[in-house]
Amino acid sequence: MNGPRSGPVSNRDQATVKSDTPSTAVGEVTTIVSGGSRGLGLAVAQRLLQRGDRVATFSRSGSAALVALAAKHSGRVHHEQLDAADSDAVRRFVGNTVDRFGRVDHCVANAAVAAEGILATMADADIDAMLTVNLRGAIVLVRECVRQFLAQPRSLPDAGAGSVVMVSSVVAARGSPGLAVYAATKAGLEGFARCLAREVGPRGIRVNAVAPGFLATDLSATLSPSDRERIVRRTPLGRLGDTADIVGAIDFLTGPGAAFVTGQTLTIDGGGAA
C-alpha cells in the first residue's frame, strides 16, 4: 500500500491509456473500488481480494483496517489518498493502477458523502460537495476506467471487456426527507448507469447499479434511534442492512455469473422498497 500522500507512482496524460503489460498473468483481474478505507468500500475490497482480484482504492484518509488488509494480501492492494472532487487526481489514480497492476477489469464507484438537512437551509457548499464527489467524481472515475477497458485486451478470451457498478441508494427511488440533494446525486448515477450500459454494451462492457437501504456504517451514524426503529419496522426482513448484504451483490455483478446483466439497478433493502 502506498503511504499517506505518497503521491502517484507516475503521472499520465489525459489522452494516454495503457494496453496490457507483460507483468499481467492471463486471467488475473484488477478491480477499482473508490472509498475503500471503511464501510461498504472496505467490505467490498475484502471480498474481492478473497476471490483473487487485485484491488486499487482511494480515499481522503487512510485507515488501520485498510493497512491490515493490504498487509494480509501483500502486493495486491493499491491505495492512494486523494479527494474524488479532484478529477486530475482521479485520472492519475487510474493510470497509476494500470502502471502497478497492468490493467483494470471492474470499477465499483462507491465513494460518497451525505450531508443531511432540509433543502431550504442547505448551504451551497454542502450541495456542491455532494454533486462534486457523488456525481462528478464517480462519473470521472468510470470514464477513466471505460477508456482503459476499451484500450486493453480482455483478461481471458471469453471474459467481458469490463464491468462497472455504481453504488446508489434506495432514497433515489423512494425519497426521504432531508436527503433530497443526496438522492439527486444517486438518481443521477442510476440514469448514468442505464445510458452508459446502452453506450458501451456493444463493446462488451456492462454497467449496473446497486441501491442499498440503510446500512450500519459511518454514513448513517446520525440516524436517530427512533428513525432506526421506524426503518426496521417497515422492512419485511426486520433489520437494517449490513455491508455483507451488499457485498454479495457487487461480487455477483462484477463476476461471470452476471455476464448477461447490464443496465440494471438492484435494490438491496430487505424488501422495504417493495
Ligand X SMILES: NC(=O)c1ccc[n+]([C@@H]2O[C@H](COP(=O)([O-])OP(=O)(O)OC[C@H]3O[C@@H](n4cnc5c(N)ncnc54)[C@H](OP(=O)(O)O)[C@@H]3O)[C@@H](O)[C@H]2O)c1
182 is catalytic: yes
Distance CA 166, CA 185 (A): 11
**Which grid cell is 5?**
500522500
> From the list 95, 102, 160, 212, which residue makes contact with ligand X (rule: CB under 6 A)?
212
Residue 94 sits in the site that holds ligand X (CB under 6 A): no
> From the list 111, 146, 193, 209, which residue makes contact with ligand X (rule: CB under 6 A)?
111
Residue 40 sits in the site that holds ligand X (CB under 6 A): yes
- For the chain, helix, strand, coil in percent to 5 are 45, 15, 40
| Angle in degrees, CA 120, 126, 130, rounded to 5 | 115
Contacts (Cβ under 8 Å, ≥6 apart) of 236: 270, 271, 272, 274
Taking the least distance from each CB to ligand X, the nearer of 1 and 215 is 215
Amino acid in the structure at residue 32 = I
> From the list 31, 37, 235, 262, which residue makes contact with ligand X (rule: CB under 6 A)?
37
176 exposure class (CB count in 10 Å sphere: 0-12, 13-18, 19+): middle
Residue 141 sits in the site that holds ligand X (CB under 6 A): no
Among candidate residues 258, 256, 243, the one with its CA nearest the CA of residue 33? 243
Site for ligand X in 41-80 (CB under 6 A): 41, 58-61
Residue 95 sits in the site that holds ligand X (CB under 6 A): no
Stretch that binds ligand X, among 46-54, 110-118, 143-151, 153-161 (CB under 6 A): 110-118
Taking the least distance from each CB to ligand X, the nearer of 61 and 226 is 61
Taking the least distance from each CB to ligand X, the nearer of 25 and 274 is 274
Contacts (Cβ under 8 Å, ≥6 apart) of 191: none
Least distance to ligand X, CB of residue 156, Å: 30
Task: Round to the nearest angstrom and report the end-to-end CA distance of the chain.
Answer: 42
> From the list 24, 152, 163, 220, which residue makes contact with ligand X (rule: CB under 6 A)?
220
Residue 214 sits in the site that holds ligand X (CB under 6 A): yes
**Catalytic center residues:** 182
Could you list the residues that contact ligand X (CB under 6 A)? 35, 37-41, 58-61, 83-85, 110-113, 133, 167, 169, 212, 214-215, 217-220
